[in-house]
Amino acid sequence: MKKIVKGLMAMMMSGMAMTSSGASASEGVEVNHLGVSNTLVRVTGNGRYLLLPVQESIDDARVNVLVDGKLDKSINVKLAKSKVDYFVPFDLSPYKGHEVVMNVVTTQGRSTVREAKDDACWKNMTLSDSFDTTNREKYRPAYHHTPLYGWMNDPNGMFYKDGVWHLYYQHNPYGSKWQNLSWGHSSSKDLINWEVQPEALEPNGLGMVFSGSCALDTNNTAGYGNNAVLGLYTSADASQTQSLVWSNDNGGTFEFYPANPVITLETEARDPNMFWDDDAKQWVLLLAHSLEHEMLVFTSPDMKNWTLQSSFGKGIGAQGGVWECPDLFKLKVDGTDEEKWMLICNLNPGGPFGGSATQYFIGDFDGKTFVADTDTNGNIPTKWMDFGKDHYATVSWSDAPDNRRTVIGWMSNWQYAAEVPTMQFRSANTLPREIGLFKGSDGQIYASSAPSPELLALRDKLTLNVKKINLGKKMRTYNLPADNGGICEILFDLDARKSKNVEIELKNNVGERVVMEYDAVAHTLSFDRRESGVVDFSQDFPAVTVAPTFETDNKISLRVFIDRSSIEVFGNDGRFVMTNLVFPTEPYTRLSVSSQGGNAKIENLRIFSIK
């Protein structure tokens, strides 16, 4: 009996709420509270965007967007309850002249409709023709690609066509945490200046849009026209299946292949990465069989019908986490005519410094099977593309010009990506890099990742130019450019033949610092960010990373790129690389160098400020 009365009361209260439409909403937005966890929002006014107020720390609300009474999309948004952290724009332009209603189901526990009505989101939901894109966040990089707003992880689906580099990325357009995975899209003519494009792919009935790849169909194998852009991605819901999409407008918009999915397996498989094999006249596809820690190889004549040919990876290399985001391509070994294949296998967790990292294998590929090279003991060595903590999901552009193998990574780590101290956007990409192969002193072939040549254009003023420094124990200190927030490129050649240890420090006015150390005995360079600034948002963030320097003569040349919240160190033309995030409360203003256990020489120390 008691229960029934309670139920009646609740009905009466929600009935009362029905009559209070629009009471707390802003102009042109009608809010109708249906119950303790259900509200209808009707757009009655004009404006390009409905700005949705987000509070990061709360649970998602489920928002079903109805257009003329029909379900158009379903999104998850952390609609603000007690405070608004930032706004995300919901683009209304595709629905002009149509009726838009949002059926919102919140998961906040509330006992009365009154309480639900007080949520900060309702009165702050506003119509607007613009939204804030002023990049006012202090950690937003100046010359790295970032999403305009929202969460970003893997770069994927990249291709080059008609002078334009297309970059897609795992994007949540409705908040800065991993959710609503879609393909965001940016394009660039120079790999530096990125233009924001409309969202390219959004979730459909098969699930979210996970990582994948694109390639040009030069021979019209799929029937969508010569040079149509073909894409394959993982549809992720309760299962992971592979979907085919195609575009006849250079990757601006995609059509779904009607008979998707084109590949289904009974276990988790994702991140299809394909290329045209011109010798065998067929498509080759690498697919991460994630939980099995292996990569599957498929072939197809037309992108629609796929045959499993082989697998690579069981018991090989780093196995500490799921295998994700593969890539496979052929390159010449520097200074020789030898050609080798490089297979990229991103891994999470299980990286050398915890969390995610990119391992690779060098070997041969006959169109169906990849066989990795072994070392002198007959073992297949694990090789890493980058020795920092913040380099993941790295894959290459298809159809790049001049036989270039240009790659870009996600500059974060799954250990703390959702906690880094940025808000309206979360995460940036690494700088673009050119992959090469070289023979190490152990006879093994390794990959180098050098900064893409386009990056030279970033250099603005030469703020320091010192020909030669004889370095002893005493620290030598130089200023970093101060008038642009310390954003710069530092270069120098280090000769440490007579030294044991060279210390390179970046420091700001409040004592926060990054310490790099070249160990001349071990031939390594370490990077210590434990005192680099804000480090306490995750116990996995304060860390020291170490790179082998792949030299035997104690000479290294370094290029260091600083961009507000990231430091990328390239050694000996990319033979070793370290990418690490840092969050200094003030920009680093000084560079100090010193040598222990003997003198060292620094030559051609130059600092360029970056525009």
* Residues near ligand FRU (CB under 6 A): 153-154, 170, 181, 210-211, 234, 270-271, 324-325, 393
User: Shortest approach of ligand FRU to residue 169 CB, angstroms?
Assistant: 10
DSSP-based three-state secondary structure for 16? helix
- Strands of 195-201's sheet, edge to edge? 195-201, 182-188, 164-172, 150-161, 425-426
Contacts 24+ apart (CB under 8 A), 521-527: 523/548, 523/549, 523/550, 523/551, 523/552, 523/554, 524/548, 524/549, 525/549, 525/556, 525/569, 525/571, 525/576, 525/578, 527/388, 527/567, 527/569, 527/578, 527/580
Minimum distance from CB of 267 to ligand FRU (Å)?
14
How many whole angstroms separate alpha carbon 359 and alpha carbon 370? 15
Which of 156, 282 has the CB closer to ligand FRU?
156
How far apart CA 412 and CA 580 sit, in angstroms, is: 8
Least separation, in Å, of the C-beta of 502 and ligand FRU? 35
154 flagged as catalytic: yes
User: Which of 344, 429, 371 shows the shortest CA–CA distance to 165?
Assistant: 429
Burial 324-344 (b: 16+ CB within 10 A, else e): bbbbbbebebeeeeeebbbbb
In the complex with ligand FRU, the residue whose CB is nearer, 124 or 234, is: 234
| Smallest distance, ligand FRU to C-beta of residue 326, A | 10
| Token pair recorded at residue 200 | 């390219």
| Cβ closest to ligand FRU, residue 184 vs residue 574 | 184
Local structure of residue 587 (DSSP, 8 states)? -
140 or 289, CB closer to ligand FRU? Answer: 289
Residue closer to ligand FRU, measured from CB, 170 or 221: 170
Calculate the alpha carbon distances from 259 to 230, 235, 242, 305 in Å: 15, 13, 11, 11
How far is C-alpha 206 from the chain's CA centre? Answer: 23
Nearer Cβ to ligand FRU (327/528): 327
Report, in Å, the least distance between residue 231 CB and ligand FRU: 13
Q: Toward ligand FRU, which CB reaches closer, 270 or 564?
A: 270
Beta bridge pairs of residue 489: 561, 608
CB of 419 to ligand FRU, least distance (A): 16
CB 381 to ligand FRU: min, Å: 24
As a whole number of angstroms, the distance between CA 469 and CA 130 comes to 52
The values of phi and psi at residue 174, to 5°, are -125, 25
Q: How far apart are CA 577 and CA 233, in angstroms?
A: 29
Of 60, 119, 154, 386, which one is the catalytic site residue? 154
Q: How many Å apart are CA 60 and CA 54, to the nearest integer? A: 10
Tokens found for residue 513: 């610092």
User: Distances from the Cα of 47 to the Cαs of 44, 96, 185, 389, in angstroms?
Assistant: 10, 10, 23, 42
User: 31: which strand partners?
Assistant: 41
Q: Is 243 within 8 Å of 235 (Cβ atoms)?
A: yes
Q: How far is the CB of 29 from ligand FRU (least distance, A)?
A: 31
Q: Closest separation between CB of residue 432 and ligand FRU, Å?
A: 19
Q: Which is nearer to ligand FRU, 322 or 494 (CB)?
A: 322
Judged by CB, which is closer to ligand FRU: 63, or 322? Answer: 322
Name the amino acid, one letter, at 253: T
CA distance 272 to 580: 27
Question: How far apart are the C-alpha atoms of 532 and 564, rounded to whole Å?
Answer: 12
List the structure tokens of 241: 């299946």
Task: Give catalytic residues, as residue numbers.
Answer: 154
